[in-house]
């Protein structure tokens, strides 16, 4: 019996040493999965990493949305309201997905998984992925999707999903460029749900976040469960450094701003301070360390004010 052609498509943006190392580890973990591997990226991938996969697809166009077009994060207290716009990567990610799945289809692959490359899969969960694939075909379904069961249950995760390439291309219809994006201020996960949920009887839908379903794996390890942004102050020329540790983060974060003493923020706590000079902010979150620099150039100040604002009551 002929073996089915199957492939795992890894979406990545290897802009830092950490992201390159995580991509390499992701590939190493999948090396014995029985799947061919493809990388899709809007940034060139180092040749030593390319040599460890079957296909590498680089698209230099990296379409980013303006802040006003992206979903916003809001925080309220008795004294103020904070609004911060998320990064506008919706179309950049969706074009990676569509490019990768279309190439897989043209190359004759009969099944694909798409996965963000910061998912470090445990061997037992790789077996579970294969079990899902087999169950999908046995039950004559076309896609495997995860509903994270958020507040209104109207999203499908894009961290991991899979299915028949031809079916996905026909019905998902994710935007490949800014002109094709018709839903502003909406996450990619909700766009995927909007386009597909009417056909849900044809899918295997797991009503769990991928982090819980693949509980032995490290899912989305580069995600930041905290915010560190310079934003504007409503009705003022001032700027403010806003740092918040998200309630979902199991770790306290340790923060150093320039040469000031380190301080700790527990989950679901925040800190802000006014900005009068260039900043270098170091965040330690578990075993991850991020350093962000904020300059006070005229261009940067304008961007900070568009990125978000605090309104005092």
Higher per-residue pLDDT: 148 or 253: 253
Alpha helices (H) along the chain: 17-30, 47-50, 90-106, 123-138, 165-171, 188-196, 210-213, 298-307
pTM summary value: 0.84
Range in 2-6, 16-20, 180-184, 186-190 with the lowest mean pLDDT? 180-184
Higher per-residue pLDDT: 306 or 264: 264
Residue 249, CA distances (Å) to 27, 148, 168, 289 in order: 26, 17, 33, 15
Q: Which tens digit of pLDDT belongs to each residue from 130-165? A: 999 999 999 999 999 999 876 566 889 999 999 999
Candidate ranges 70-84, 150-164, 296-310; pick with highest mean pLDDT:
296-310
CATH 3.90.550.10 at 6-62+87-213, yes or no: yes
CATH assignment, 226-312: 2.60.40
Per-residue pLDDT, averaged over 186-196, amounts to 89
Q: Which tens digit of pLDDT belongs to each residue from 226-246? A: 999 999 999 999 999 999 999
Per-residue pLDDT, averaged over 300-306, amounts to 92
Q: Are 141 and 202 in contact (CB under 8 A)?
A: yes
Average pLDDT, the chain: 92
Q: Which two tokens stand for residue 236?
A: 């003022």
Q: Which tens digit of pLDDT belongs to each residue from 88-122? A: 788 889 999 999 999 999 999 999 999 999 999 99
Per-residue pLDDT, averaged over 169-197, amounts to 86
Higher per-residue pLDDT: 290 or 265: 265
Range in 11-15, 151-155, 269-273 with the lowest mean pLDDT? 151-155
Three-state secondary structure call for residue 87 = coil
Q: Domain residues of the chain, as ranges?
A: 6-62+87-213, 226-312
Per the DSSP assignment, residues forming a β-bridge with 36 are 7
DSSP state, 39?
A: E
Distance of CA 155 to the CA centre of its chain: 14
Q: Are 18 and 221 in contact (CB under 8 A)?
A: no
Residue 154, pLDDT score: 82
Q: Which tens digit of pLDDT belongs to each residue from 19-73? A: 999 999 999 999 999 999 999 999 999 999 999 999 999 999 887 777 777 777 8
CB < 8 Å & 24+ apart, contacts of 290-296: 290/224, 290/228, 292/228, 294/230, 294/241, 296/239
Q: Are 207 and 193 in contact (CB under 8 A)?
A: no
The candidate with the shortest Cα–Cα distance to 117, out of 29, 5, 216, 224, is: 29
Residue 224, pLDDT score: 75
Percent of the chain with pLDDT over 70: 97
Residue 195, pLDDT score: 93
Distance of CA 264 to the CA centre of its chain: 26
pLDDT at 277 over 70: yes
Residue 184, pLDDT score: 65
Residue 65, CA distances (Å) to 85, 87, 108, 171, 179 in order: 11, 8, 33, 24, 11
Range in 3-12, 101-110, 182-191, 225-234 with the lowest mean pLDDT? 182-191
């Amino acid at each position: 019996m002929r073996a089915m052609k199957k492939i795992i498509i890894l979406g990545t943006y290897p802009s830092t040493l950490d992201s390159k190392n995580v991509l390499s580890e992701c590939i190493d973990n999948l090396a014995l999965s029985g799947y061919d591997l493809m990388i899709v990226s809007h940034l060139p991938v180092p040749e030593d990493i390319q040599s460890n996969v079957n296909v590498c697809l680089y698209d230099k166009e990296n379409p980013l949305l303006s802040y006003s077009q992206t979903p916003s994060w809001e925080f309220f207290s008795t004294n103020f309201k904070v609004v911060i716009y998320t990064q506008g990567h919706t179309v950049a990610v969706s074009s990676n997905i569509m490019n990768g799945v279309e190439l897989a289809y043209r190359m004759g692959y009969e099944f694909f998984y798409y996965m963000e490359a910061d998912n470090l899969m445990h061997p037992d969960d790789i077996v579970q992925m294969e079990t899902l694939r087999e169950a999908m075909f046995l039950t004559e379904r076309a896609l495997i999707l995860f509903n994270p069961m958020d507040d209104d249950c109207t999203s499908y995760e894009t961290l991991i999903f899979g299915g028949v390439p031809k079916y996905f291309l026909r019905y998902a219809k994710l935007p490949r460029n800014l002109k094709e994006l018709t839903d502003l201020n909406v996450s990619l996960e909700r766009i995927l749900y909007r386009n597909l949920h009417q056909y849900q009887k044809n899918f295997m839908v797991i009503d769990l976040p991928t982090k819980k379903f693949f509980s032995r794996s490290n899912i989305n390890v580069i995600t930041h469960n905290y915010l560190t942004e310079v934003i504007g102050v409503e009705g003022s020329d001032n700027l403010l450094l806003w740092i918040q540790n998200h309630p979902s983060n199991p770790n306290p974060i340790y923060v150093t701003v320039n040469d000031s003493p380190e301080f700790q923020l527990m989950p679901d706590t925040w800190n802000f301070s006014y900005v009068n000079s260039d900043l270098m902010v170091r965040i330690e979150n578990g075993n991850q360390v991020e350093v962000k620099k904020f300059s006070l150039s005229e261009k940067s100040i304008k961007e900070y004010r568009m990125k978000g604002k605090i309104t005092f009551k």
